[in-house]
């Protein structure tokens, strides 16, 4: 069952994520046509990054607002599993780069690792703590 | 964690030395990157074990919050760099920048929580 804080968080996050896809598509199109450099390039990178940053802030606000301790702890644990996976992937790629790896990691690799680990943790916790039928 | 850090530094030193002298490629390069990575993964696993074993709910919650602030800092840095690279940035970010941001954000969060949860001096108990 979703708490009121979770429902608000989901609604706000979905709105921001819709904005993210629009911003990302718009910026990507602009970069491919205008080939910006220097400060313009940094500004272009900030544009799609900003909605993601808002989602981080919304998650922090949700964790502060959530009154159901079990739900909050579960979300924190899932996020930490995601962070662990994302950081370990990032570290592996970092060491490859330090050791002069000529390749390039796929874009969004760390973000996919984060989402995958969060989803897996959520499923695992759900299976190990099944709620009794109401 | 105290056990993993010396192992990590020893592994990084030995692997860097090997890479500088032998210039490995392909699978050997992946193995060289995996060695210090495994040592750090041991550190991450030891944090998970600590959170599992900690019986003091307050300490566990505080540690989880600090870790989440660190992870937010690392992920924000990583996302920004990823967009820069995707949009044709030719530069190179410092090695292991995200892990440094992670550690810094965690430290700032820890200090901020310590300061905000400091008991007031001279408070009278009723």
Max intra-chain CA distance, chain A: 59
What is the model's pLDDT at position B4? 75
B14–A contact, CB cutoff 8 A: no
Q: Are residues A46 and A103 in the same domain?
A: no
**Dihedrals φ, ψ of B93, to 5°?**
-70, 150
Computed over every residue of chain A, the mean pLDDT equals 89
pLDDT of B71 above 90: yes
Question: Given an 8 Å threshold on Cβ–Cβ distance, is B99 in contact with A76?
Answer: no
B109–A contact, CB cutoff 8 A: no
- Chain A (10-39) residues lying within 8 Å, Cβ to Cβ, of chain B: 27-28, 31, 35-36
Q: Are residues A73 and A124 in the same domain?
A: yes
Is A86 within 8 Å of B101 (Cβ atoms)?
A: no
Total domains present in chain A? 2
pLDDT of B123 above 60: no
Interface probe with B: pick from A32, A41, A63, A99, most Cβ of B within 10 Å: A99
% of chain B with per-residue pLDDT over 90: 25
Q: Are residues A80 and A116 in the same domain?
A: yes
The residue-averaged pLDDT of B32-44 equals 87
Q: Are residues A56 and A84 in the same domain?
A: no
What is the band of A134 on the pLDDT scale with cuts at 50, 70, 90? very low
Q: CA-nearest residue of chain A to B37?
A: A92
Residues of A in Cβ contact (< 8 Å) with B82: 107-108, 110-111
Q: What is the pLDDT of residues A57-109, one digit of tens each?
A: 999 999 999 888 888 989 999 999 999 999 999 889 888 888 888 888 888 89
Q: Are residues A4 and A60 in the same domain?
A: yes
Q: Are residues A89 and A34 in the same domain?
A: no
CA B31/CA B36 separation, integer angstroms = 9
The pTM is what?
A: 0.84
Could you say which of A12, A46, A66 is where a domain stops? A66
Q: Are residues A62 and A77 in the same domain?
A: no
The residue-averaged pLDDT of A2-25 equals 90
% of chain B with per-residue pLDDT over 70: 93
- Show the domain range for A72: 68-134
Computed over every residue of chain B, the mean pLDDT equals 86
């Amino acid at each position: 069952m979703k708490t009121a804080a979770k429902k608000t968080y989901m609604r706000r996050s979905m709105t921001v994520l819709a904005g993210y896809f629009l911003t990302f598509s718009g910026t990507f199109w602009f970069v491919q046509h205008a080939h910006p450099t220097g400060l313009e390039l940094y500004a272009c990178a900030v544009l799609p990054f900003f909605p993601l940053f808002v989602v981080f802030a919304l998650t922090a606000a949700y964790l502060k607002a959530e009154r159901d301790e079990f739900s909050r702890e579960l979300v924190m644990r899932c996020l930490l599993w995601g962070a662990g996976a994302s950081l370990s992937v990032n570290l592996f790629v970092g060491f490859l780069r330090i050791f002069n790896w000529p390749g390039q990691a796929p874009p969004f690799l760390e973000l996919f690792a984060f989402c995958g680990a969060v989803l897996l943790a959520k499923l695992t916790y759900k299976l190990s703590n099944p709620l009794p039928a109401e | 964690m105290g056990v993993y850090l010396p192992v990590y530094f020893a592994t990084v030193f030995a692997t860097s030395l090997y890479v500088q002298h032998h210039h490995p490629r392909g699978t050997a390069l992946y193995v060289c990157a995996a060695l210090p990575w495994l040592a750090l993964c041991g550190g991450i696993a030891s944090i998970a074990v600590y959170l599992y074993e900690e019986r003091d709910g307050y300490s566990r919650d505080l540690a989880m919050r600090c870790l989440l602030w660190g992870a937010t800092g690392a992920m924000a840095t990583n996302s920004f760099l990823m967009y820069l690279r995707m949009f044709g940035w030719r530069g190179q970010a410092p090695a292991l920048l995200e892990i440094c941001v992670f550690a810094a954000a965690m430290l700032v969060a820890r200090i901020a929580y310590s300061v905000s949860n400091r008991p007031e001096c001279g408070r009278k108990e009723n």
